[in-house]
Each structure stands twice: as structure tokens, then as C-alpha cells.
Structure 1
Amino acid sequence: MTLLAILVLAALGWAVWKGKLQRQQLPPLLLGLAGAFLAARGSLLIGVGAIAIAATWYRGLTWRLFGAGAKKIDQSPLDPSPIDDARFLLGVSRFDNAERIRERHRTLIAQNHPDAGGSDERAAALNKARDILLDDLNNKRL
């Protein structure tokens, strides 16, 4: 049983390290695993209750992190969205906040501004990407 717990914790650590999981997602996952352990050891009512709480907590957290309407039905999975393009252009992830987006934009615009030897098109694309991502963050808050 100890070996299994070590393997599960190692897998969760790897998932966080690789960016597959956010640190905010760990508490509900660990609660669910503890509930499964309790249910397997005979405390069925407490274990199932812990699993139900963990599932609800995790689902609500996922909605807050990734947005309830993150996937559009009419969009092809092979077609990248403007938000994904903007994230790629600025070099930010879907987990970055507005401050990080602005910081990354300032860094890139300083390197690509027309007055610093950059092109007008590149600066306009960086400004548009920043606006798209900040609008998306504001829409998720509403």
C-alpha cells in the first residue's frame, strides 16, 4: 500500500511539473484519493462522501480555471482559436493572469517596437494578442 501511495504521489508530482495539472487542482485530487482509500478500507459512507465532495470541488475549480465555455462547438479541433494564437504569440499559458500577460507584452513590444528596429505589423499583432487575452480574462470573470 505504501508503494502504491508513493507511485500516485510521484505521478501527481510529474503531472504538476510537466504542466498537466495546476497546484490548485491537487487538494481535490488528494481528497478524492483519500476517499477512495477510506472506502476500500471499510468506511464506505465517509469515503463516498469525500469522493463526492472532491469531484464537485474539482469540477468547480476546472470551470474557474478553464472557463465553462472554453470549447466552441462550431470550431474544428484542427483550427487554432484566436486566443490560442494570441497565447502562442505572447508566449503565455492559459493559466497566466493579466499581470503576467501585460509583463510579457511589455517585454516583447520593447524588442519589436518600430522605434527599436521592429516592424509595424509585429507590434500591431502583439497589441492585438494582448487585447484578445485580456478581454478573454475579463469575460471569464463575469
Structure 2
Amino acid sequence: MWKIVIAVAIVWFAWRTWHGSGRLPGTPIPPPAPPMGEAEAKARALLGIDASAGEKQVREAHRRLVSLVHPDKGGSEELTRQLNAARDTLLKG
């Protein structure tokens, strides 16, 4: 009886190890994302982009959002300022 319990425990542990990681065995582990400051995190949230987005994605997100809320199109000056500040924060770093 104890042999069955040990065998089941080994199979369960192997299954959890392989399936719990979310990646196939032998695939490289991606490097961790660099730590973000609070201002950068807020800027990325405002623009709706993730931490891995590069300069091109930042500019595209900014352009898309500003085209929707620009004061010339009846939008808000304050929101346009916030979007511009978010873009500048992300492109300086």
C-alpha cells in the first residue's frame, strides 16, 4: 500500500512541476522585466501599454489616444497634457 502512495506522490509532483511552470521543459526562462518607477507605471497605464512596449509602441499608443481626445476635436486639454507627459516620461528613460 505504501508503494502506491509513494508512486502517486511522485507522479503528482512531476506533473505539478511540469504543468505548473507554464512552459515546456528545456525552454529558456525569459529575463525579468526591469523595475518600474511609480511615474513610469502610471504613464504606461494611462497609455494602455505593457512594460515590454518599446519606443514605437509608446508613440503609436500616444498618437492613437491624442487623436481621440485632442482639444481641436472637442476633447480635453488636461487629458491631452497628461498623455503628452506620459509619452515624455516613457521616452526619456
Superposed pair shares fold, TM > 0.5: yes
The CA distance in 2 between the partners of 1:93 and 1:135, in whole Å, is 17
Unaligned 5+ segments in structure 1 are 17-25, 29-57, 73-80, 137-142
Higher relative contact order (CA 8 A, sep 6+): 2
RMSD, aligned CA: 2.5
Percent of aligned positions that are identical: 33
The CA distance in 2 between the partners of 1:27 and 1:85, in whole Å, is 30
- Between Structure 1 and Structure 2, the one with more helix by share is 1
Q: Which letter maps to 1:130?
A: R
With structure 2 as the length reference, what TM-score do the two structures score? 0.69
Paired residues, number: 81
Match of 2:18 in 1: 9
Displacement of 1:117 = 1.4
Runs of 4+ in 1 over 3 A off after TM superposition: 1-6
Q: Deviations over 1:66-101 (max 9, x none)?
A: 1xxx377xxxxxxxx211111111111212121211
Question: Rg: which structure is higher?
Answer: 2
Match of 1:91 in 2: 48
Q: Deviations over 1:43-79 (max 9, x none)?
A: xxxxxxxxxxxxxxx7xx33xx31xxx377xxxxxxx
Displacement of 1:3 = 4.7
